[in-house]
Amino acid sequence: LFCHLLSGIFRQRKMYRLLSMDYVTGGYNWFYFTNRVDKILNRSWNADKLYAVIHLTHDKYRSFCSCHGIQAGQALLQQLDQYLNSRMKRGELCAHVSEADYALLIRCNSREEASIRVKAWFDEIPTMIMQCHASFHAGICMTNYGDLGEKSKKKKRGKASSSLLYHNASIARDAI
């Protein structure tokens, strides 16, 4: 009975890993991003922290794949995923969402700080990625601070929706 219980737990974890893995980049996907961001933002001890949800898109990815092939395009996405994950701090997330789009959750104090950080990433992108003359665009959507009620001792952010924040970031994509 105990062995069956343990094997059930291991199968469940393996299934979750398979569901949350992106097969192109080997990193995380949209499913993992939405689940994890909702957990992070809805924790009471994170209510006093300000986060930014960033929609990062690689322009002209399809034309790159047309010229160089799909395998070269996937290798490019893997390099970009590794680069972005290396720039994430503890408690921040990066996930490959769709063809050439990434979703990022970073902790910052203001929109300007998030914008500066994203611009620094654009400047630091390795030359191997930039050989394809790629351009990137990003949109930022800031989470709000928790509401400080007089009766409540705890700060509350309210129910945050990661998909809504990402949608707002994708609308603001040309702001940077």
Contact residues for 106 (Cβ-Cβ < 8 A; gap 6+): 51, 52, 54, 88, 89, 92, 114, 117
Q: Report the predicted TM-score, pTM, of the whole model to 2 decimal places.
A: 0.80
pLDDT recorded at residue 92: 92
76-89: b (≥16 Cβ within 10 Å) or e: bbbebbebbbebee
Beta-bridge partner residues of 147: 156
Sheet containing 101-107: order of strands: 93-98, 101-107, 51-59, 135-142
Strand pairing class (135-142; 101-107): unpaired
Q: Model confidence over 91-136: pLDDT tens digits?
A: 899 999 988 899 999 999 888 999 999 988 888 876 656 666 677 8
| Confidence band for 44, pLDDT divided at 50, 70 and 90 | confident
The helix/strand/coil state of 124 is helix
Give the DSSP per-residue string, 127-141: HHHHTT--EEEEEEE
pLDDT recorded at residue 161: 78
